[in-house]
Amino acid sequence: MRDPVSFLGEEYRALVDKELDWRLRVLEGASRPRCRVDGRDVIMLCSNNYLNLSNHPKVKEAAIAAVRSHGAGSGSVRPIAGNMDLHIELELRLAAFKGVDASLVYQTGFAANAGLIPQLAGSGDLIVSDELNHGSIIDGVRLSKASRTVYRHCDHVHLEEVLTEAEEHTPPHRRILIITDGVFSMDGDMAPLDRIASVAAKHGSMVYVDDAHGEGVLGEGGRGIVSHFGLKRDTVHVEMGTFSKAFGVVGGHISGSKELVDFALNMSRTWLLSGSHPPAVAAACIAAIDVLETEPEHVKDLWRNTEYFRKGIQDIGFDTGKSVTPIVPIMIGRSAAAKTFSQRLYELGVFALPIVFPMVSQDGARIRTIMNAALTDEDLDEALCAFEKTGKELDLV
């Protein structure tokens, strides 16, 4: 009789043979610009900790104080007995920071997308999604009973064509939900959210933006892509984000109208059926908002480092693709070359991972670097030297 779980090993070995498996390195200590990975001291260029807030004294001290006052865990899901005063305070502070009526904190950003998207659009509805949206959006769409279609990446003209065609559908769609990332994590490019919102308003469609890589980075004081474009809050109906990147902690969230939050907390099973954040997490997130509101230098330093590094990489002769944000991809081409490049960088003291097929196209492999506000010129110059040395060794520049 065949072993019913033999496929596990077989399929894993197939991934290994194709060099598509993840081989995890170990971060030994805090995620800092200079850290230790697998026993080697390296410059960190692949963390989402954009503003280095995971190491900010106020954020760490808030987490410690919350453990002392509220314990290590919440004890339940929020609808039952795990709805702590810290969770309410965090949502009030986040809504005020974003300039909206209300916010709701999810366990993760993935949980927000997977839990809310299927509830916003169901049978009789249509979801229109950017073709390069994040996997969590894709999974959320797949969980919905709505019809779905895609529009060409960041192409608002094609989006309008799709919406115009959708208006001819018989019977008419009950509602249409447009979903886009704010900043696309593989290329570092930005959605034309102002044009998307304009097209949506013309066709009476909802707009949902996943701003995971925009919050803390774009807009006034890091308030995100809606702020960046100066949009009115009622033109973008759902702002989704995460505390695990620029805020330096963990957790997902949505922001918008009070009606949106009331709907989401009653309908999202990922929110209803998952344990709430430990007190330390909620308190650390509140402190991270405090830092963003009172210490604008972190966002400014992030952008200064981004422009410095991007110019240095381009001066060496590398292609950084369509990036206009602190995600700076160095385009390599072949997956094998990107993996070799990453390993050589690691040997030279720079930790930057390859992004290869199937995450990107077969000829679109790249080293994806992500800037950090706390990187020094010395750090960046050392990293640039490593990139130049490796590029010349591999005949890429």
pTM score above 0.85: yes
Question: 83 - beta bridge partners?
Answer: none
Instruction: Tell me how many degrees the CA angle 282-75-30 measures, rounded to the nearest 5.
Output: 40
For the chain, give every domain's residue range. 23-50+296-393, 57-294
Q: Determine the CATH number of domain 57-294.
A: 3.40.640.10
**Active-site residue list:** 185, 213, 245
Task: Give the pLDDT score at 303.
Answer: 98
The phi, psi pair for 147, rounded to 5°, reads: -70, 155
Q: Determine the CATH number of domain 23-50+296-393.
A: 3.90.1150.10
Ordered alpha helix ranges (H), the chain: 6-17, 57-70, 85-98, 109-120, 135-143, 156-166, 193-203, 225-228, 258-267, 269-272, 279-294, 297-316, 335-347, 377-393
Strand-strand pairing, 365-370 and 354-355: antiparallel
Cα-trace Rg, the chain: 22
Per-residue pLDDT of the chain (397 residues; tens, 9 = 90+): 788 989 999 999 998 888 778 889 999 999 999 999 999 999 999 999 999 999 999 999 999 999 999 999 999 999 999 999 999 999 999 999 999 999 999 999 999 999 999 999 999 999 999 999 999 999 999 999 999 999 999 999 999 999 999 999 999 999 999 999 999 999 999 999 999 999 999 999 999 999 999 999 999 999 999 999 999 888 999 999 999 999 999 999 999 999 999 999 999 999 999 999 999 999 999 999 999 999 999 999 999 999 999 999 999 999 999 999 999 999 999 888 999 999 999 999 999 999 988 888 888 999 999 999 999 999 999 999 999 999 999 999 9
